[in-house]
């Protein structure tokens, strides 16, 4: 059924107002901004369902222009890359039948590429060094957090000094891996958008690929990139080991997801699948060091192929 004018107008309003307000909240309200930033692309998916691709694209463009006028052009560009593009690509790729993992991969890769282009153009036109800018923003955030702890924590002077040193160390690490953190953030936003779009599409009886998460598997060649990046970390030159550290950070997240998929597959083979999944979630939340074990499991899945059922032969044959 083709949408009439009223339906298309409603779809534009849903996409523009919903996405624009959620993104604006992420800028204006720090406490809920973290959550609303992840939800900002979602209304564009609903606009795609109700009005089609052109309506969703118009909504994203209109929202970008409004944010550029109300806030600033860089804010509009930030929305276009972080939310607009994700809100358009995820529904389109999902409706074309791509697997969820490929939808997230292609969306994230496109957003990262466009972000790199925009940052490069911005640095040349404004004369601002992106590395120094990122370091300043991270340092300012760390200093604000330290002042907040000093005023409200009630910690002793010794504990407060240890906290300062720990947060400064975290800030130094973040200053080196902020490209990886930005990539992971875009991937998470894409994943949340896809998950909510899949739920919405199911309500409208739209056909999309519902491949379960337990089938998630990284491309086999990535394990060699992981090995190369690991050896590159040994180089004493920052020009080599810093990009290697960013690659390792992104790949670690991917292999953690693969290890988690392996564990979920093993859980579902048990008659106590639901209980084992709950136990697994509790352990990962309360024992963060287990994430390292899950990541290593994901890496060795390349050689072990742990999800393939093992066929046992009868000894009498």
Distance CA 44, CA 50 (A): 10
**What does 253-310 look like in DSSP terms, one character per residue?**
HHHHHHHHHHHHHHHHTSTTHHHHHHHHHHHHHH-TTHHHHHHHHHHHHHHH-TTSPP
pLDDT at 113: 92
| Tally of structural domains, the chain | 2
- Is residue 172 assigned to a domain? no
Q: What is the Cα–Cα distance from 44 to 59, expressed in whole angstroms?
A: 7
Residue 309's CB is within 10 A of a number of other CB atoms, namely: 7
Q: Which CATH number goes with the domain that contains 49? A: 1.10.1760.20
Tokens of 22: 């959620």
Give the structural domain span for 220: 212-308
Specify whether 102 is located in the same domain as 205: yes
What is the predicted pLDDT for the residue at 2?
Answer: 47
Contact residues for 311 (Cβ-Cβ < 8 A; gap 6+): none
- The Cα 49–Cα 206 span in angstroms is 9
Lookup: tokens for 146: 């330290």
Under 8 Å between Cβ of 115 and 47: no
| 198 shares its domain with 266 | no
Q: Is the alpha carbon torsion for 28, 34, 40, 46 positive or negative?
A: negative
Residues 6+ apart with CB under 8 A from 160: 149, 150, 153
For residues 27 and 269, what is the distance between their CA atoms, to the nearest angstrom?
45
Does residue 104 share a domain with residue 199?
yes
Say if residue 181 is in the same domain as residue 269.
no
Q: Is 148 buried (19+), middle (13-18) or exposed (0-12) by CB count in 10 A?
A: exposed
Residues 202 and 291 in one domain: no
> Is residue 136 in some structural domain?
no
Same domain, yes or no: 206 and 259: no
Q: Which residues contact 149 (CB under 8 A, 6 or more apart)?
A: 155, 160, 163
pLDDT in tens, the chain (317 residues): 444 777 888 888 889 999 999 998 888 776 666 788 889 999 999 999 988 899 999 999 999 999 999 888 888 988 998 899 999 999 999 999 899 989 999 999 999 999 888 888 878 887 777 777 777 777 777 777 677 766 665 666 677 777 777 777 877 888 888 899 999 999 999 999 999 999 988 888 888 888 888 888 888 888 899 999 999 988 888 888 889 999 999 999 999 999 999 898 888 887 788 888 888 888 888 888 888 999 999 898 888 877 776 554 433 43
Distance of CA 180 to the CA centre of its chain: 10
* Separation CA 90–CA 19 (nearest Å): 15
Residue 137 included in any domain:
no
Asked whether residue 157 is domain-assigned, the answer is no
**pLDDT value at position 314?**
39
| Residues 53 and 187 occupy one common structural domain | yes
The neighbour count for residue 145, using CB atoms within 10 Å, is: 15
- How far is it, in rounded angstroms, from Cα 92 to Cα 142? 39
Provide the pLDDT for residue 60. Answer: 93
């Amino acid at each position: 059924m083709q949408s009439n004018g009223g339906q298309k107008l409603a779809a534009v309003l849903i996409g523009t107002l919903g996405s624009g307000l959620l993104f604006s909240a992420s800028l204006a309200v720090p406490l809920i901004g973290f959550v609303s930033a992840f939800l900002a692309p979602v209304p564009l998916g609903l606009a795609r369902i109700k009005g089609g691709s052109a309506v969703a694209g118009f909504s994203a463009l209109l929202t970008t222009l409004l944010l550029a006028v109300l806030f600033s052009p860089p804010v509009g560009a930030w929305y276009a890359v972080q939310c607009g593009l994700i809100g358009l690509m995820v529904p389109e790729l999902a409706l074309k039948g791509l697997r969820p993992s490929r939808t997230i991969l292609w969306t994230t890769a496109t957003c990262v590429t466009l972000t790199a282009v925009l940052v490069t153009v911005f640095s040349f036109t404004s004369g601002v060094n992106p590395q120094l800018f990122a370091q300043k923003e991270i340092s300012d955030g760390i200093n604000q957090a330290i002042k907040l702890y000093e005023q409200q924590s009630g910690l002793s002077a010794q504990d407060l000094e240890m906290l300062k040193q720990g947060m400064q160390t975290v800030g130094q690490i973040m200053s080196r891996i902020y490209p990886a953190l930005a990539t992971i953030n875009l991937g998470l936003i894409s994943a949340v958008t896809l998950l909510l779009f899949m739920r919405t599409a199911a309500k409208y009886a739209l056909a999309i690929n519902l491949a379960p998460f337990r089938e998630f598997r990284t491309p086999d060649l990535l394990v060699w990139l992981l090995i190369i990046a690991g050896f590159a970390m040994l180089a004493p030159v920052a020009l080599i080991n810093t990009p290697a550290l960013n690659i390792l950070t992104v790949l670690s997240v991917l292999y953690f997801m693969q290890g988690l998929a392996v564990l979920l597959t093993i859980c579902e083979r048990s008659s106590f699948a639901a209980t084992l999944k709950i136990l697994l979630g509790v352990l990962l939340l309360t024992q963060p060091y287990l994430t390292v074990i899950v990541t290593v499991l994901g890496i060795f899945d390349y050689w072990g192929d742990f999800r393939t059922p093992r066929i046992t032969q009868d000894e009498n044959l």
